[in-house]
Amino acid sequence: MRLVEQWRRLEAQLPADWTDARLALAVSDERRLSRAAALLGPANPGRARGELRLAATRGAGPSGAEALRRHLRRVDEAGVRGTLTLLGTSETPRPEPVAAPTLEAAWEEALATLPPDWSDLHCELTIDSTDQLARVALLLSPVNPLRDGRRAALRFRSARRFGYGASPEMVRRCLARVDADGINGRVAILRALSDTHNVATQGPVWYVEGKAV
């Protein structure tokens, strides 16, 4: 079988994400081996124990798979016969999957961005599907969540010391319950107030689109 055809068959067996292939060309006749080495000169072959060692990289370029095909074709046309063997390949390393941050962790990160004297928060939890809203609302029930229109989102309040809103610790526990249910989402702090003082009230009120929240 011609060397070009051997390379075609070997190439077809390479993994989809291969980056380079290492090959050995064995030629029984020593003189023909030298002739093959000369014809394959642009491929920079190495010589060891009666065979030539070659390498091809994926794609174009002087060391690419197509360039090796041209070099092997010249060896075929010179009447040199041999056996091409695949010694090994290298593949593109697959990136390690990055786990999405949990809602509990996202909540802690959001709190860390606030000033130390924050007192009241207006927050939102969005999820991927409205089909999960009922379940999420149940898991968040201690923080009194309210649905935001037709969006797959629930809004709630948190208070650090007193007043209207769940404590940040209660919010964290509720979000951990959502995490444990395998429900993905994003939690965000929409509005924040600092150092408020409640006087005969349950706390400050935000007006959003004409509605008190």
Token digits for 43? 């491929």
Side-chain-facing half-sphere of 91: CA atoms under 13 Å? 7
Domains belonging to the chain, first-starting first, are 3-91 (3.30.70), 103-212 (3.30.70)
In this prediction the pTM is: 0.53
Low-confidence ranges of the chain (pLDDT < 70): 94-99, 198-203, 210, 213
pLDDT, one tens digit per residue, over 51-87 is 999 999 887 777 888 899 999 999 999 999 999 999 9
